[in-house]
């Protein structure tokens, strides 16, 4: 399974909007990321997102850019900022036919998930960047079954 991680694109600060939707720069950033993903020839069997507006908007813009059906986006609280990575991994086990999964979420959740997959270590996950892990075994806790394939910033996706 290929697991792709993306932090939502740039959003308004909480002081400006409690819902924190994407700001105009974030909308452009998500669309640019989608074009980069398409240019790299990547596609997804499943897109999973947090219910928070900024994350869902990012997922929707990426889905549109790679021609993934908007109605098939899976919205789940397991991707909320302070959730454990285990809840998401358990959810993914229930999707055996999904071999290429994009998770659009938040920090610190995505950083903790990446660290768990790497069994320690840290990745600087940035807005609208894309990180890919190749996971051979979700069922064996503590196994070294995940391999980091790439880690791209939004700027790298744009070029």
User: In this model, does residue 51 exceed pLDDT 60?
Assistant: yes
Domains and CATH numbers, the chain: 2-158 (3.40.50.1240)
Question: The whole model's pTM is what?
Answer: 0.94
For residue 142, pLDDT over 60 is answered with: no
Element (H, E) at 63: helix 53-66
Closest Cα to residue 150, out of 134, 135, 136, 132?
Answer: 132
Helix (H, G, I), strand (E, B) or coil at 28: helix
CB-CB contact of 133 with 148 (8 Å): yes
Tokens of 144: 């070294």
In this prediction, residue 49 has a pLDDT band, given cuts at 50, 70 and 90, of very high
How far, in Å, CA of 5 to CA of 101, rounded? Answer: 9
């Amino acid at each position: 399974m290929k697991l792709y991680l993306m932090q939502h694109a740039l959003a308004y600060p909480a002081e400006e909007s409690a819902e924190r939707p994407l700001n105009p720069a974030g909308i452009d950033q998500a669309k640019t990321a989608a074009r980069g993903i398409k240019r790299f020839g990547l596609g997804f069997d499943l897109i999973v997102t947090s219910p928070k507006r900024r994350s869902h908007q990012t997922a929707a813009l990426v889905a549109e850019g790679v021609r993934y059906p908007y109605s098939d986006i899976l919205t789940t609280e397991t991707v909320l900022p302070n959730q454990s990575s285990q809840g998401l991994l358990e959810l993914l086990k229930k999707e055996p036919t999904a071999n290429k999964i994009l998770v659009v979420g938040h920090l610190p959740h995505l950083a903790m998930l990446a660290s768990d997959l790497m069994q320690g270590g840290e990745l600087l996950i940035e807005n609208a960047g894309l990180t890919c892990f190749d996971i051979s075994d979700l069922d064996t806790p503590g196994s070294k079954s995940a391999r980091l394939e790439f880690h791209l910033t939004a700027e790298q996706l744009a070029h």
